[in-house]
Structures are given as structure tokens and as C-alpha cells.
Amino acid sequence: MEDMHMNHQMHDDTMQHGSHMMHMGNLKLKFWVSLILTIPVILMSPMMGMNLPFQVTFPGADYLVAVIGSILFFYGGYPFFSGARGELMDKKPAMMTLITMGITVAYLYSLYAVIANNLLHVHPMVMDFFWELATLIDIMLLGHWIEMNAVMKASVDVNQLAALIPKSAHLVKDNEIEEVPVSELQPAQLVEVRSGEQIPADGTIETGETTVNEALITGESKEVEKAQGDNVIGGALNGNGTFRFRVTKAGKDSYLAQIMNLVKAAQHSKSKLENRANIVAGYLFYAALTISLIAFVVWLLTANLAMALSIAVTVLVIACPHALGLAVPLVTARSTSIAATNGLLIQNRTVLEKINQVKYVLMDKTGTLTEGKFKVSKLVSLTDKLSDVEVAQLFAGLEASATHPLATGIIAYAEEHQIQAVEAQNVKQVVGVGIVGEINGTTYQIVTANYLKKKNVAFNQDTFKTLANKGNTVSYLVQGSQVIGLVAEADQIKSTAKLAIDKIKAMGIVPVMLTGDNELAAETVANQIGIKDVKAGLLPEEKQQIVNQYEQDGLSMFVGDGVNDAPSLAKASIGVAIGSGTDIAIDSADVVLVNSNPEAITTLIELEKATNRKMVQNLWWGAGYNILAIPLAAGILAPIGFLLNPMVGAVVMSLSTIIVAINAMTLRLK
């Protein structure tokens, strides 16, 4: 499957500078060849005009150094020339253009020095920069190699995901097992998975029981028990059991493929901080060019051409913003990989730069703080004309085609009590109302207590309060203007919900519950997990309005999973969708929590705060280094005898990029 092996592309094309993509293998080869060519240059040429103890001299040595230096310049410098060409074509000169300027000036001046010293016999002799040129190219190539290695290591966790999908699967046809390539699997096919095998595609178990390890996909460290009706994810590792499942998604549509697409897109997306770094690099190009020209003129007037050119070269070399350009991408790559292996799929990284400003975490109740697996605690008829069983048949008939948690609970109840659902026609879900459908020509509705109150339909509110106070979600069956049935369903609070709320409050962020459920049920759940601010009985548009109100007071993060959460997810500063939720909710979100664990909300906040800190640190290191180094390179401290030579400038510049790369790789989750 080509889509499932996108990691191969990451090995081929690793880092982009301007419009230029540098190949990892070529860069490594260029470094080693350039390093070998540098050895004779070091042995035969002076450093900054000083003869070294081991220097070799003989007639024609200068010409031989010039030839080797030319090979080094064109061969080792090619990646920088190519990158600069891309930047200039985009009319955005930046880091690669600066490097190209630095080595080009050094090379041309060195050629002039050879001609002046050997053919024109000028006095005093002109100092060449071949020693500096060779070592500068080596250091630049080494810096790029180390940085690109860092980027590749940042993608290791993502690359491991691609290796999780097996090459073949056991396809079941007419009770016969056929070994087929995974790439040929199609939805609706039946596949057998044996003990210790990796699951080849997404699907639903039809027969068998097992435990599944989903750690590398969802971040869930414990093995998950799976039985008939449970969903399985392609790439997860099967335990001791053997089971058969019906394929729902395979290949590029599978969950794992979507994870990899999201991660890849996030790693290649540009954030505001990254764009800011590129803007700074652009300004730096013009600043370096201007200052080098000014320094050249000043030193030409106060000293000589050799000194003026030396200073100009030093300014151009020291100004290279390589560290600045990599400050954000390296951290982004590392952060995205950590997020993916912790069950966080980041679809819009830009908004996460606001994480430090978040004041409220607004959460839906069902499916976010609770399991979303409802169990009927009471189902009764409220009319003498129908028995409890007949009311259950009507409930089950209307909910037969629905997939929301309340419907699932009712259908499970009917199956458990062997109640046959009646057939319903023209069933549709009306947002903010409930279910509407026809049975034997009569229209029925399944609605909430709030709906009954708004429509002034009479019902026993004492019974409602009693059931709701116990945490039940209560729904009513309505025929015309009469309430004829009631179903109360209880949901279980997620085991990590209270811990997540405690952590959110410890961060100084206010947790808020926004739910369409009744107020009493919402308050019961909120009290158990420690949420004080609760808004219940909300329609989708009301949820969105409340999100907007909180946004007026401070940035908010909204966490939800349903269709009715999509507007709120889009409205909040940061939208977080529960992975088990609906496609429309996930599409509207900036981040997806794969494992549906509320504690992952705090993991997201902690990770993004750490990520932002690393980004800012790297930006300050890259920009701060250039701000301090350029005046020194221009000779501002020359009156007290301090001059920064090109070699020292190259070493310090390369060290700064290595430090930035190391700092990015130290990003960790506690």
C-alpha cells in the first residue's frame, strides 16, 4: 500500500530550505568527500595568514590549493547554491542565500589572492581564505547533516506506525482461509486474526474474544479486551485469542493511515512562529548585506582592501540564520511525533500556540466525561392503553437505525429482554428535538424534558427529578400532545475524568460542562468529578453562543464528540474532538484525542506548553546569536583589539544550530 508506506518519502526528502529539497544520502557523501579534500588544503595553506607548524610548502602549492578549493567550493557548496536559487526565485532571500554569499565572497577573494601573490607579485602579500573556505563548507555540511538526522529521529515514532501493518491477511471466503496481500482488502470482507498477529485493517469483531494492545496507536498502555461487536484498529497487536472481524476501513482510509497523514501534514505545516522566524531571516539577509557593505567601506578607508574584505566576509558568515530557520520546524517535528504516540492527532498546530492563554476548558458530558455507554435503568408505559413491553417496542423501533449512545442503550435493552422492535418509517433525527418517525401511520417522537416544558406538554416532573437526581438521562415517548412512555438511562463516568478535572484546575484553568442533557443529571456528574460551572439542557446553537460568551472573557478550549458539538468545536479558540466521536466533530476540531481519555486533555496542554517554550527558546537563541554576532563581526570592538574572524564565526554559527537541534530533541512529556 503506497499510502501506508509514506515514511519512505521521509527518508528520501527530509528537509526543505527555500524551494530546495536536500537528499540525506547525498549530503552525507558531500560531507565526507569535502572533509577528505580539506586535509591537503589545511596542510598547504595558512590560517588567517599565519603559517602553521605542520604546513607543507613547495613550488606551485598555492595553485594546487586553488584547484582543490575550487572543487570544494562547487561540489561541497552545491546544496547552498541550490537552496539560494530557490529562495531568490521566490524573492525571499534568507539563510541559504546568506551562506552562499559568505562562501562565494571567500572563494573569489582567495582566487584574487593567489593571482595577486603569484602573478602580480603584490606587496605586502594578500591573505587568502582557502583554509577558512574549506573548513567553513565542512562545518556547514556537518551542521546540516546533524540537523537532518535530528528531523529524521523526530519522525521515528511515526515511521514505526507504518511498520505495524502486516503484509498479508487471512481472508475468509466460504469458510475457507485464503492468504491475501493487505493492500487487496476491501470493506465488508471477513478476516481472521490469530494469536500474536497484528490486525491488518479497521473493522468490527463478528466471532471470538481476545485482548488487543493498541499502545503505539492510541497511547493506551493497558491491553484492551475485545469481543463480538467491538471495533478493532489496523496495526494493533492481537493477544492470545483468535477472532474474525468484518473490515470497515482498509488501506488509505484506515485509521492508521489517517494518523500518518495528519502527522505528516502537521510536520510540514508552517505555524505563526515559524513564519515569524522566516520573516526575521529575511530581514537579517538585508541587514547583513547592508552592514557588511558599510563595514567594507569603513575598513577600506581606515585600513586596506584585505582587511575590509575579511571583515565583510566575516559579517556575511556570522549572519547566517541557519539556527533561526530550524528553531521551530525541529520542535514541531518532535512535538508532533510525541503527540501521535500519546493519542493526540494535531490537525491545526497554529492555534495551539495560544495554549498559554487558555482560561476555560469547556467540555461536553456524554462521551467526553462519561463513557457514553448508556444502560436502561427504567422503561415504563405512562398510559393505560399500552403495556411496558409495547412502549419498549415503540422506543426500539424508532431508535433502530440511530447510532447515538442513548439509542444503543435502548436497542441493547430490547435485545436483552427479547423485545421485538416494531418497524418505523420516515424516521429522522431533529437536532434539539430528538427522534421523529411513523409507526403504522401514527407519528411518534422521542424527546427530552426540556422539549416538553418548552411545548407546555404535561408530564410528571417529580418522577423526572427523582430519576435525574440519580444521574439518569430521561427521554419521553410522545404521541401527538400526549406523553405515553418514559425511558431512563444511566451512563458511567470515565475513571480518569476526576483526575483530569483536578489537573486542569491545578493549571489555573476553569473546567466548564456544557451539555444537552437535563440539569439534574448534569449536576450529579459534575459534583462527582469536581466541576462547579455547569450549563445543561443546551441546543447546539445555545452551546455555540455560550462558547462565544466565554471567548469574550478569555480564550477557551472546547472538547466534544457529537454532531451537535461541531459548531462549538469550530467556534472555540482550540477545538478538541474525542476520537470515538462522529466524523463531522473530528473534521471541525483542531486536535483529536484518539483514546477518548479525558486525561489526554491535560497531556495536550502540558505538551503544547512545553513545545511553545522550546520554540521560544530556539527563536531567542537563533535571533539573539545573530543580533550579538553581527556587530562583533563588523569590528565594533576593533578599537580595543577584538576582531571576529570568519573561522570563529563559522564555528560559533554551526554550534548554535547544533544547540538548537539538541534543544528540540530534549522536548519530553513528564
Same domain, 141 and 61: yes
Q: Residue 602 falls within a domain, yes or no? A: no
pLDDT at 273 over 80: no
Name residues whose C-beta falls within 8 Å of residue 382's C-beta, 6 or more positions apart in sequence: 391, 459, 460, 483, 484, 485, 486
Question: Once rounded to an integer, what is the mean pLDDT over residues 142-150?
Answer: 63
Q: What pLDDT, on the 0 to 100 scale, is given for residue 533?
A: 95
Residues 62, 202, 364, 517: which is the catalytic one? 364
364 is an active site residue: yes
Reported as a pLDDT band with limits 50, 70 and 90, residue 12 is very low
Q: For the purposes of burial, counting CB atoms within 10 Å of the CB of 511, is it exposed (0-12), middle (13-18) or buried (19 or more)? A: buried
Q: What pLDDT, on the 0 to 100 scale, is given for residue 260?
A: 62
Give CA–CA dist 583/29, Å, rounded. Answer: 47
**Residue whose C-alpha is closest to residue 388's, from 485, 490, 489:** 485
pLDDT at 2 over 90: no
User: Is the bond preceding residue 200 a cis peptide, omega within 30 degrees?
Assistant: no
Q: Residue 608 falls within a domain, yes or no? A: no
Q: What grid cell was written down for 526? A: 459534575
pLDDT at 270 over 60: no
Same domain, 102 and 182: no
Question: Once rounded to an integer, what is the mean pLDDT over residues 37-54?
Answer: 75
Q: What pLDDT, on the 0 to 100 scale, is given for residue 26?
A: 78
Question: Once rounded to an integer, what is the mean pLDDT over residues 652-665?
Answer: 79
Q: Residue 370 falls within a domain, yes or no? A: no
pLDDT tens by residue, 414-440: 999 999 999 999 988 776 678 899 999
Q: What pLDDT, on the 0 to 100 scale, is given for residue 564?
A: 63
Q: Write the CATH number for 437.
A: 3.40.1110.10
Give CA–CA dist 447/478, Å, rounded. Answer: 7
Same domain, 172 and 112: no
Question: Once rounded to an integer, what is the mean pLDDT over residues 281-285?
Answer: 76
Question: Once rounded to an integer, what is the mean pLDDT over residues 634-656?
Answer: 75
**Residue whose C-alpha is closest to residue 433's, from 448, 422, 419:** 448
pLDDT at 468 over 60: yes
Highest mean pLDDT among 35-39, 109-113, 516-520: 35-39
Per DSSP bridges, beta strands 533-535 and 243-249 are unpaired
**Residue whose C-alpha is closest to residue 400's, from 382, 376, 366, 427:** 427
Question: Once rounded to an integer, what is the mean pLDDT over residues 276-293?
Answer: 79
pLDDT at 39 over 90: yes
Last residue of a domain, one of 589, 624, 653: 589
Same domain, 79 and 7: yes
pLDDT tens by residue, 437-451: 999 999 999 999 988
Same domain, 138 and 33: yes
Q: Residue 199 falls within a domain, yes or no? A: yes
Question: Once rounded to an integer, what is the mean pLDDT over residues 284-311?
Answer: 86
Same domain, 282 and 405: no
User: Is the bond preceding residue 124 a cis peptide, omega within 30 degrees?
Assistant: yes
Reported as a pLDDT band with limits 50, 70 and 90, residue 161 is low
Give CA–CA dist 296/312, Å, rounded. Answer: 5
Same domain, 186 and 279: no
Highest mean pLDDT among 5-9, 56-60, 201-205: 201-205
pLDDT tens by residue, 529-576: 999 999 988 877 788 899 999 999 999 999 987 656 777 888 888 988
Q: Residue 259 falls within a domain, yes or no? A: no
Same domain, 509 and 551: yes
pLDDT at 364 over 70: yes
Give CA–CA dist 375/188, Å, rounded. Answer: 29
Q: What pLDDT, on the 0 to 100 scale, is given for residue 16?
A: 43
Tell me which of 494 and 147 has the higher pLDDT: 494
Q: What pLDDT, on the 0 to 100 scale, is given for residue 642?
A: 80
Same domain, 330 and 393: no
Q: What grid cell was written down for 31? A: 560531507
Give CA–CA dist 436/479, Å, rounded. Answer: 10
Question: Once rounded to an integer, what is the mean pLDDT over residues 302-328?
Answer: 75
Tell me which of 255 and 72 has the higher pLDDT: 72
Please give the C-alpha separations between residue 545 and each of 213, 542, 568, in angstroms, as whole numbers: 41, 5, 8
Q: Residue 606 falls within a domain, yes or no? A: no
Tell me which of 557 and 336 has the higher pLDDT: 557
- DSSP H or E run through 113: helix 95-118
Q: Write the CATH number for 513.
A: 3.40.50.1000
Into how many domains does the chain fold? 4
Give just the sign of the alpha carbon dihedral 34, 37, 42, 48. Answer: negative
Q: Residue 670 falls within a domain, yes or no? A: no
Q: Write the CATH number for 205.
A: 2.70.150.10
User: What is the maximum span of the chain, computed from C-alpha positions, in angstroms?
Assistant: 119
Highest mean pLDDT among 128-137, 145-154, 507-516: 507-516
Amino acid at 659: I
Q: What pLDDT, on the 0 to 100 scale, is given for residue 242?
A: 92
Last residue of a domain, one of 229, 253, 277: 253
- DSSP H or E run through 438: strand 434-439
Tell me which of 321 and 298 has the higher pLDDT: 298
pLDDT at 20 over 50: no
Phi and psi at 475, nearest 5°, equal: -125, 150
Question: Can you give the residue range of the structural domain that contains 206?
Answer: 166-253
Last residue of a domain, one of 490, 525, 545: 490
Q: What pLDDT, on the 0 to 100 scale, is given for residue 271?
A: 55
Q: Residue 596 falls within a domain, yes or no? A: no
Please give the C-alpha separations between residue 330 and each of 9, 34, 266, 352, 611, in angstroms, as whole numbers: 18, 26, 12, 16, 10
pLDDT tens by residue, 96-139: 777 787 788 779 888 988 998 888 887 767 767 788 788 778 87
pLDDT at 635 over 70: yes
- DSSP H or E run through 140: helix 130-154
Same domain, 26 and 41: yes
pLDDT at 628 over 90: no
Name residues whose C-beta falls within 8 Å of residue 455's C-beta, 6 or more positions apart in sequence: none
Phi and psi at 385, nearest 5°, equal: -80, -20
Phi and psi at 263, nearest 5°, equal: -65, -45
Please give the C-alpha separations between residue 177 and each of 68, 395, 637, in angstroms, as whole numbers: 65, 41, 80
Same domain, 512 and 465: no
Q: What pLDDT, on the 0 to 100 scale, is given for residue 14?
A: 35
Q: For the chain, give the mean pLDDT.
A: 81
Same domain, 478 and 395: yes
Q: What pLDDT, on the 0 to 100 scale, is given for residue 162?
A: 61
Give CA–CA dist 623/625, Å, rounded. Answer: 5
Reported as a pLDDT band with limits 50, 70 and 90, residue 216 is low
Q: What grid cell was written down for 537? A: 439542557
pLDDT at 586 over 70: no
Tell me which of 334 and 602 has the higher pLDDT: 602
